[in-house]
Amino acid sequence: MLAIPQGLVDASMVVFFTFIIGGLFIVIRTTGVIDIAVDKLTRRLANRSVLILPLMIALRFDSITAVGVALLVTTAGFSAGVLNPINTGLGQMIAEVPIYSGAGLRSMLFLLLIGSGVLNITRCALKVRANPEFSLMADDSKEAEKRRH
């Protein structure tokens, strides 16, 4: 009968850590800070499109390139988890190892994943931008409309 309350007491650090991180994310989303930052970045760097691959749709790169960038940053960040409070911080807390131990190795992994991904996506994006027929979406009418504007 006391197993659930005792389990919550034993895991109180994990439970409160999860609540605090969740609340932090809600505050950040509610304030609109991320939307404002992306808008300012887009306006400031619009003429340097090769340097800003995450803004590909707005800069008329094909949709496949934009998806590649979104997947690259998401999977590299999640896989390496250098400072990720959920999969690294919480996982290490549950495993009872020092919090954020191995950060150097995870940082190297992150840089390797991002570096190789950026090189491949940039090469592919420039190839498609030079000749849109190389895109997997070349026959799509919405992609063609994007290139006209």
Under the banding of pLDDT at 50, 70 and 90, the label for residue 11 is: confident
Q: Which of 38, 37, 61, 138 is nearest to 53 (CA)?
A: 61
Q: Which residues have a Cβ under 8 Å from the Cβ of 135 and sit 6 or more positions away? A: 62, 64, 128, 143
Question: Based on the domain organization, do 90 and 101 belong to the same domain?
Answer: yes
Question: Based on the domain organization, do 90 and 56 belong to the same domain?
Answer: yes
Question: Based on the domain organization, do 8 and 77 belong to the same domain?
Answer: no
Question: Based on the domain organization, do 39 and 63 belong to the same domain?
Answer: no
Ramachandran quadrant class, 100 (left: phi over 0; alpha: psi -120 to 50; beta: rest)? left
**Could you tell me the pTM of the whole model?**
0.57
Range of the domain at 13: 1-48
Question: Based on the domain organization, do 106 and 37 belong to the same domain?
Answer: no
User: In this predicted model, what pLDDT tens digit does every residue of 70-88 receive, in sequence order?
Assistant: 788 888 888 888 877 777 8
Number of domains in the chain: 2
Question: Based on the domain organization, do 106 and 34 belong to the same domain?
Answer: no
How does the average pLDDT of the chain come out, rounded?
79
- Residue 148 pLDDT exceeds 80: no
